[in-house]
């Protein structure tokens, strides 16, 4: 159940923290660790702080970009301590665990119930992303996330150690997963289309930007803020692959116009 | 509210862990740290890992025995990973926070309701005690506790780092105290545009159908199923008025194209 959840660490500076994260994960029965461009890895410091969780370290996947780490995920949640200019839907660790693990009837993808009714179905892959020790995730990385994860804490001293943050999140997942298992809350959404992956969404956004430029709606140079707004919109919906096909069909047709016009 | 709760560390071996505990506490607005016979303290390692929570370290009380640390406390809770020969009443971190912070009627000190009905009243002092890194609390120390605190975790790998354990407990205390709600920097989407009304959405759908017809994406006669799909998508997002303006701007531009083409 927890095996479909990746913990992704972006550009971690101190290898000791990577080890402490591995330990925090294994304590809560989680094993799927991804490291995006870690400064030093592998490292004796990491192994020492992992303290018996070296199997998690040994199984960790190292990659170059966040995009690679989340490419196959249907739901991406980014930890953030700061507010953002464009506000993004936020979850506490408990809400995060419930969103990932509890499939409530009516909270599925039928769209009928909730404004931000993004919910996974069993088998969907989830990434929870943690940023650099000093500066967290950058805006362009947060833009890749459906939700921000904000850990409740002292507003005057809000910087948690990265392993402490991972510990809280994994603890909430573990506690929630136990309840879910006992109560057999799963109500599948069988027969649904699979959700679009992050990679599919990225190629949609590329296509969208092209099409909006083609139809003259925006100039590439001034497009950043508009594209972020549009990402905020489409990330919120969590499109399935069929819906994505429809939207891309629309984009293609708009572009077709353009080409016809140009002839 | 949290100021009456002491975190007590017994014979901690690694000073870095003391620093990490101080940080974990301050992150959750707790400041009352007691150290029973620490192996090395003060220490540069402790200060470095405290990372800005050195005020908690500086204010820590060092004493020789656990009895001294808990002498003025009405409720003493001891963290334990192992079961005991003589079973002791146990609490999860969440139950621990509720027991300390929520004063339910009938759960007070009248003793009439519950066998383990120990509850504090406002002003009572509470100690939460954490043992040695390798061996935890000894039996004679656990005997001083009203309750054992057991953190839910992987039974095959149950030894949490001491700072990770303190982090989970302080996090549950902070969340249960209600301080979390007060501290939130922003909740929800304050300062955002108002959400679109149903009437605004209807005129958006009308406009969308027109535009899709104009660009040749669909024929009005066969459009029903596509329009229902699109409604399903856009109803799910709950657009705000600014976002709706952006989308309608896009539609207008596609139509503009069309008109230019027709000329």
* pLDDT (0 to 100) of residue B105: 52
* pLDDT (0 to 100) of residue A258: 63
Nearest to B28 among A20, A116, A154 (CB): A154
CA angle A167, A181, B117 (to 5 degrees): 70
Return the residue in A18, A162, A167, A201 with the most chain B beta carbons within 10 A, the one to mutate for interface testing. A167
Nearest to A233 among B175, B232, B243 (CB): B243
Nearest to A229 among B168, B190, B243 (CB): B243
Q: How confident is the model at residue A121 (pLDDT cuts 50, 70, 90)?
A: confident
Q: Of A80, A98, A107, A126, nearest to B236 (Cα)?
A: A107
The size of the A-B interface in CB pairs under 8 A is: 173
CATH classification code of A198-262: 1.10.8.590
Rounded to whole angstroms, the Cα distance separating A151 from A165 reads: 8
pLDDT higher than threshold 60 for residue A108: no
Determine whether the interchain pair B236/A233 forms a contact, defined as Cβ–Cβ distance below 8 Å.
no
Nearest to B157 among A27, A161, A260 (CB): A27
**B124-156 per-position pLDDT tens digit:** 899 999 999 999 999 899 989 999 999 999 988
A237 to chain B: nearest residue by CA?
B237
Contact A167, A25 (CB under 8 A): no
Q: How confident is the model at residue B195 (pLDDT cuts 50, 70, 90)?
A: confident
Nearest to A260 among B53, B94, B261 (CB): B261
Contacts of A174 in chain B (CB under 8 A): 152-154
Residue of A229 and B15 predicted with greater confidence? B15
A113 to chain B: nearest residue by CA?
B236
Contact A60, A12 (CB under 8 A): no
Encode burial over A5-43: b for 16+ CB neighbours within 10 A, e otherwise: bbbbbbbbebbbbbbbbbbbbbbbbbbbbbbbebeebbb
Rounded to whole angstroms, the Cα distance separating A158 from A153 reads: 6
| Distance in angstroms between the alpha carbons of the first and the last residue of chain B | 73
> Does domain A2-183 match CATH 3.40.50.20?
no
* pLDDT (0 to 100) of residue A186: 32
* pLDDT (0 to 100) of residue B256: 82
Helix (H) or strand (E) holding B259: helix B241-262
pLDDT higher than threshold 90 for residue B70: yes
Q: Using CA atoms in the order A127, A193, B201, B242, what is the torsion angle rounded to 10 degrees? A: 30
Determine whether the interchain pair B183/A152 forms a contact, defined as Cβ–Cβ distance below 8 Å.
yes
Contacts of B52 in chain A (CB under 8 A): 157, 159
**A203-255 per-position pLDDT tens digit:** 999 999 999 999 999 888 878 888 988 988 888 777 889 999 999 999 999 98
Rounded to whole angstroms, the Cα distance separating A114 from A107 reads: 7
pLDDT higher than threshold 50 for residue B106: no
Determine the 3-state secondary structure of A126 from DSSP.
strand
Determine the 3-state secondary structure of A39 from DSSP.
coil
Q: Where are the domains of chain A?
A: 2-183, 198-262
Q: How confident is the model at residue A86 (pLDDT cuts 50, 70, 90)?
A: low
**Whole-number average pLDDT of chain B:** 86
Residue of A191 and B223 predicted with greater confidence? B223
Helix (H) or strand (E) holding A8: strand A5-10
Determine whether the interchain pair B158/A27 forms a contact, defined as Cβ–Cβ distance below 8 Å.
yes
Q: Of B152, B26, B135, A163, nearest to B7 (Cα)?
A: B26
Q: How confident is the model at residue B108 (pLDDT cuts 50, 70, 90)?
A: very low
Contacts of B51 in chain A (CB under 8 A): 159, 161
Structure tokens at B218: 């669909």
Structure tokens at B235: 């109803």
Query: What integer is the mean pLDDT of B70-83?
Result: 88
* pLDDT (0 to 100) of residue A262: 61
**A172-186 per-position pLDDT tens digit:** 999 999 843 443 333
pLDDT higher than threshold 90 for residue B61: yes
Contact A238, A146 (CB under 8 A): yes
Determine whether the interchain pair A247/B260 forms a contact, defined as Cβ–Cβ distance below 8 Å.
no
A225 to chain B: nearest residue by CA?
B246
pLDDT-above-90 percentage for chain B:
59
Looking up tokens 């599948």 gives: A188
Determine whether the interchain pair B185/A26 forms a contact, defined as Cβ–Cβ distance below 8 Å.
no
- Weakest mean pLDDT among A107-116, B76-85, B176-185: A107-116
- Weakest mean pLDDT among A94-98, A116-120, A194-198: A116-120
Query: What integer is the mean pLDDT of A58-74?
Result: 96
Rounded to whole angstroms, the Cα distance separating A8 from A78 reads: 9
- Weakest mean pLDDT among A37-46, B107-116, B166-175: B107-116
């Amino acid at each position: 159940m927890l095996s479909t959840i990746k913990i992704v660490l972006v550009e971690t500076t101190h290898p000791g923290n990577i080890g402490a994260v591995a330990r925090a994960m294994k304590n809560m029965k989680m094993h799927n660790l991804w490291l995006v461009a870690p400064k030093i890895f592998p490292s004796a410091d990491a192994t020492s702080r992992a303290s018996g969780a070296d199997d998690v370290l040994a199984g960790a996947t190292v990659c170059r970009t966040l995009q690679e780490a989340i490419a196959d995920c249907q739901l991406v949640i980014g930890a953030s301590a700061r507010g953002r200019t464009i506000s993004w839907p936020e979850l506490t660790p408990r809400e995060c665990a419930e969103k990932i693990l509890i499939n409530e009837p009516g909270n599925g993808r039928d769209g009928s119930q909730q404004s931000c009714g993004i919910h996974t179905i069993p088998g969907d892959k989830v990434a929870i992303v943690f940023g650099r020790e000093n500066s967290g995730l950058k805006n362009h990385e947060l833009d890749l996330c459906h939700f921000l994860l904000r850990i409740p804490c002292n507003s005057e001293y809000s910087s948690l150690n990265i392993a402490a943050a991972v510990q809280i999140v994994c603890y909430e997942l573990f506690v929630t997963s136990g309840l879910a298992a006992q109560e057999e809350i799963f109500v599948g959404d069988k027969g649904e289309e699979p959700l679009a992956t992050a990679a599919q969404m990225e190629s949609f956004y590329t296509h969208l930007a092209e099409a909006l430029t083609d139809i003259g709606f925006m100039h590439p140079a001034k497009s950043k803020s508009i594209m972020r707004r549009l990402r905020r919109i489409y990330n919120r919906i969590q499109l399935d692959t069929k819906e994505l096909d429809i939207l891309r069909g629309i984009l293609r047709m708009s572009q077709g116009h353009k080409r016809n016009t140009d002839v």
